[in-house]
Amino acid sequence: MVTLKCSYTVKPAEPTPIIRQWLPEADQLQALTHAPTVYFYPSSKPDSIDSPLETLKDSLSQALVYFYPLAGRLHVIDGGRLELDCNAMGAEVFEAYSESTIKDFGDFAPTPELRKLLVPPIDYNNTPFHELPLVLVQLTKFKCGGLSIGLAISHSMVDGQAALHFISCWAKIARGEKLVDSDQPFLDRTILKMDDDNNKKGPRYHHVEFDPPPLMIGASDDKEERSKETTVTMLKLTKEQVEKLKQKANIDRTKDDMKVRMYSRYESLAGHIWRCTCKARGHDDEQLTGLRISVDCRHRLRPPLPPKYFGNVTFKSTPVAKSGDLMKKPLSYAASKMREGAEMFNDDYIRSSVEYLKNESDWSRIRRGFHSVGCPQGDYLGNPNLAVTSWIGLSIYDADFGWGKPIYMGPATLGFDGKSFVIPGDGDGSLLIALRLRVDHMEAFKEFFYQDI
């Protein structure tokens, strides 16, 4: 049980530019919802802070001076495109209290209950879209003395790397430190307009990432799969298990494979999850299955984007394979399909993707994010497909607001069957996997997942 005590609007501490800002195609692709995450802090530190709430509010007000786009509001314009109104309307901060303890949340699995209790509520149905804050924060104090910070940040404004850049700077200010030049966000999104002569030729590739995902053999739609009951779990791999899985992916590489770099932890693990999911779902050998992955394109463009570019620069790749090949061939096959899907995103392919999207007259058709549980709209990425998002390498434990680093940070919800996040442990080399699957597939998946590792 959580009781919301108060809410506050936090505006930038100083005047900020009042302008309308154009948003590039990489922003337009994102869901019109907020990405919910949650941080947990132990009970040993908060007592040393006079007021965690005031610390959060004051530092957020200062952070919004540097990251002023997040204090604005989004507007829908012609064809369903979005435009950012930098109007300094501010973020929303909620104060809450819970009779629970941190231990009551167990392994922090992103269940619907966790999302409901610890992340700010957002009324998408009754609040006009242009009035929705882009950042909402909930500080929850637990009976044990611990804290959680639940965040909801607009998908259309930032990807994971940009969001964590903002949170890291916000926390730095809360600790009483000054931001240096290398902390400053690069806010000019027009750098992604890409209006050069080469792009005016139009798209130069068939952009499979925008094709409808595969359906189950014999099915004409995904209505039946959407209706199946799902559940959420948290799986853990030790550093030793991660290395064993990586070795397994690389030990049977072909001679051609040996000419390129070894498969990474993420490629090895995502390939393993893909294979195990096919087995747990009982796929026929000829069943097509897609793996949705995020590709960070910051350093894939030529020239690369400036350091600290603030916005979305991730595109989705969906390599497709036959389930029989994934299940019967070595793990290196699944890893190689995943790598192929990511490596096609070179400078030319990214620019071609932008040209493809510029021709879109109805963004509601192509915008992602409507495939969540209970929603009948949009592409469904559940059975026979899945999505594996990696947070390996992201600074998710930097959110020290003056009362120590979080003991856990992760997603507060998983939207659909087959959705998963790979979350790094805090410096020990372990990995956590947050996963949603159909109830009747989960136990078989766990069995396959831990076999031989």
Question: What does the pLDDT read at residue 426?
Answer: 79
The model's pLDDT over 162-207, given as tens digits with 9 standing for 90+, comes to 999 999 999 999 999 999 999 999 999 999 998 755 555 667 888 8
**Three state DSSP letters for the chain:** CEEEEEEEEECCCCCCCCEEEECCHHHHCCCCCEEEEEEEECCCCHHHCCCHHHHHHHHHHHHHHHCHHHHCEEEECHHHCEEEEECCCCEEEEEEEECCCHHHHCCCCCCHHHHHHHCCCCCCCCCCHHHCCCEEEEEEEECCCCEEEEEEEECCCCCHHHHHHHHHHHHHHHCCCCCCHHHCCECCHHHHCCCCCCHHHCCCCCCHHHCCCCCCCCCCCCHHHHCCCEEEEEEEECHHHHHHHHHHHHHCCCCCHHHCCCCCHHHHHHHHHHHHHHHHCCCCCCCEEEEEEEEECCCCCCCCCCCCECCCCEEEECCEEEHHHHHHCCHHHHHHHHHHHHHCCCHHHHHHHHHHHHCCCCHHHHCCCCCCCCCCCCCCCCCCCEEEEECCCCCCCCCCCCCCCCCEEEECCCCCCCEEEEEECCCCCCEEEEEEEEHHHHHHHHHHHHCCC
The answer on pLDDT for 68 being more than 80 is yes
The answer on pLDDT for 359 being more than 50 is yes
Question: What does the pLDDT read at residue 109?
Answer: 97
| CATH H-level, domain 2-192: superfamily | Chloramphenicol acetyltransferase-like domain (3.30.559.10)
CATH architecture of 212-452: 2-Layer Sandwich (3.30)
The model's pLDDT over 105-128, given as tens digits with 9 standing for 90+, comes to 999 999 999 999 999 999 999 999
The answer on pLDDT for 368 being more than 60 is no
Q: Which of 34, 155, 371, 441 is catalytic?
A: 155
Question: Is pTM beyond 0.75 here?
Answer: yes
What rounded mean pLDDT belongs to the chain?
A: 92
Q: What ranges do the domains of the chain cover? A: 2-192, 212-452
Cβ pair 191, 23 in contact under 8 A: no
Average pLDDT on 393-402 reads: 93
Q: Is 272 a catalytic residue?
A: no
Do 2-192 and 212-452 come out as alike in CATH topology? yes
Question: What does the pLDDT read at residue 264?
Answer: 96
Q: Which of 325, 348, 400, 440 is catalytic?
A: 400
Question: What does the pLDDT read at residue 204?
Answer: 86
Q: Is 400 a catalytic residue?
A: yes
Average pLDDT on 376-389 reads: 85
Question: What does the pLDDT read at residue 1?
Answer: 84
